């Protein structure tokens, strides 16, 4: 069987066709413009490819409540042309195949738990630190939705005493995203993250905020693994710094075999940047199975 996969992002739409064993047969990337311009191109691609089901991992927030009238719509996004858009309905009506739908970060979490480093684990967390901070959560073998979906990238965090930066989140000022996403790093230090590699103090503070949130995620969720991806995590030195600070912040209170081996507990994504598209593929497979 052939499954369609769409990683819907604010700047580009990655479309792919793959098989149930996670092999990507082909893919294209289409710039994200308005729904009127972009959707016909996506529909054409998936119609031409004769797929049995489609999975969509979408930038958010999105409505994931199957009982809601606006299930499958994009909600209060800053990408105004897409605000309120019924992306799932458009695919369903035009393609007439099962459509799986979730957030982009839940998609990445699902990719890693199906074919990557979280395989066989029932509770894990995927965080991307890029233009924003997004968190996908798998708990007890299921992607967590609840009312809508977790927004743990906006976890409320006090600024460190020596950090006078006001924070960049329009809703919270300093939440994790407001303090630690790429644009916050850039505004605080007046240079893009890419250009700050040699500045120890930049990454020491970044690791502090990431660890602050991660320690809280660990206390709430008890995840068996934490995966950190996104552009900012290209600063590889962050991984050991985050691990060390998480250990300090937890203060020896939790004693588990996972926490004893921090190098395999807090890790980089394992699927060569295909975790998102592979997760979307699996969302399509799951949608077909539910229909059948
Ligand atoms: P998006 O979140 O839009 O999908 P990315 O995950 O690539 O995209 O994140 C983009 C952000 O990551 C930008 O703010 C950029 O400055 C930052 N970034 C990208 N590469 C690096 C790097 N090597 N070091 C630090 N920051 C980076
Ligand atoms: Zn926020």
Residue segments in the chain with a per-residue pLDDT below the cut of 50: none
Instruction: For residues 31 and 146, state if they share a domain.
Output: no
- Alpha carbons 274 and 104: distance in angstroms, whole number: 12
Domain range for residue 206?
A: 117-267
184, 178 contact by CB (below 8 A): yes
User: Domain holding 164: CATH number?
Assistant: 3.30.420.40
Nearest listed ligand to the Cα of residue 169: 2
Whether 236 maps to a domain, the answer reads yes
Structure-block tokens of residue 155:
């976890």
pLDDT at 77: 87
Query: Do 64 and 200 belong together in one domain?
Result: no
Query: Is the domain of 77 the same as that of 127?
Result: no
- Please check whether residue 112 lies inside any domain of the structure: no
| pTM for the full predicted model | 0.97
Does residue 36 sit within a domain? yes
Is residue 125 domain-shared with residue 242, that is, in the same domain? yes
**How far is ligand 2, taken at its centre, from the CA of residue 152, in Å?**
9
Residue 30 alpha carbon to ligand 2 centre in Å:
29
For residue 38, give Cα distances in angstroms to 13, 14, 45. 9, 12, 11
The pLDDT assigned to 2 comes to: 97
Exposed, middle or buried: residue 142 (CB in 10 Å: 0-12, 13-18, 19+)?
A: exposed
Cα distances (Å, whole numbers) of residue 107 to 7, 163, 193, 243, 269: 8, 34, 26, 24, 13
Residue 173 included in any domain: yes
123 and 259 fall within a common domain: yes
> Is residue 109 included in any domain, yes or no?
no
Measured in Å, residue 212 CA sits from the centre of ligand 1 at: 20
- Based on the domain organization, do 137 and 239 belong to the same domain? yes
* Residues 234, 189 within the same domain: yes
Q: Are residues 123 and 262 in the same domain?
A: yes
Same domain, yes or no: 252 and 175: yes
Which pLDDT tens digit goes with each residue over 202-225? 999 999 999 999 999 999 999 999
Domain count, the chain: 2
What is the atom index within ligand 1 of the atom nearest the CA of 132? 2
pLDDT for position 282? 98
Pocket-forming residues, ligand 1, beta carbon under 6 Å = 9, 130-131, 182-183, 186, 192-194, 230-232, 234-235
Same domain, 182 and 248: yes
Same-domain status, 49 and 33:
yes
The best mutation among 127, 128, 131 to test binding of ligand 1, ranked by most ligand atoms within 8 Å of the C-beta, falls on: 131
Atom of ligand 1 nearest to the CA of 235: 24
In a domain, 110, yes or no: no
DSSP category for residue 195: G
Q: What pLDDT digit, counting tens, does each position of 242-289 carry? A: 999 999 999 999 999 999 999 999 999 999 999 999 999 999 999 999
* 163 and 226 part of one domain: yes
Predicted local distance difference test score (pLDDT) of residue 196: 98
């Amino acid at each position: 069987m052939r499954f369609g996969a769409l990683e819907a992002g604010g700047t580009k739409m990655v479309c792919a066709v793959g098989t149930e064993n996670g092999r990507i047969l082909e893919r294209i990337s289409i710039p994200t413009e308005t729904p009127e311009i972009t959707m016909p191109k996506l529909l054409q691609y998936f119609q031409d490819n004769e797929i049995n089901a489609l999975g969509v991992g979408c930038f958010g927030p999105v409505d994931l409540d199957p009982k809601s009238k606006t299930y499958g719509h994009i909600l209060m996004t800053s990408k105004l042309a897409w605000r309120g858009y019924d992306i799932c309905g458009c695919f369903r009506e035009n393609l007439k195949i099962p459509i799986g739908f979730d957030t982009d970060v839940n998609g990445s979490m699902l990719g890693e738990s199906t074919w990557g480093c979280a395989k066989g684990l029932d509770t894990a967390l995927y965080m991307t630190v890029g233009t924003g901070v997004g968190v996908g959560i798998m708990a007890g073998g299921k992607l967590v939705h609840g009312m809508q979906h977790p927004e743990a990238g906006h976890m409320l965090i006090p600024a460190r005493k020596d950090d006078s930066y006001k924070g960049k989140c329009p809703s919270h000022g300093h939440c994790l995203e407001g303090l630690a996403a790429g644009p916050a790093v850039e505004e605080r230090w007046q240079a893009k993250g890419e250009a700050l590699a040699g500045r120890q103090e930049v990454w020491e503070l970044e690791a502090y905020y990431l660890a602050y949130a991660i320690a809280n995620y660990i206390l709430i969720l008890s995840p068996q693994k934490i995966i950190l991806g996104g552009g900012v995590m290209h600063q590889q030195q962050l991984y050991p710094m985050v691990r060390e600070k998480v250990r300090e912040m937890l203060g020896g209170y939790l004693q588990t075999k996972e926490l004893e081996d921090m190098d395999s507990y807090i890790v980089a994504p394992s699927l060569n940047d295909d975790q998102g598209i592979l997760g979307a593929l699996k969302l399509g497979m799951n949608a077909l199975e539910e229909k059948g």
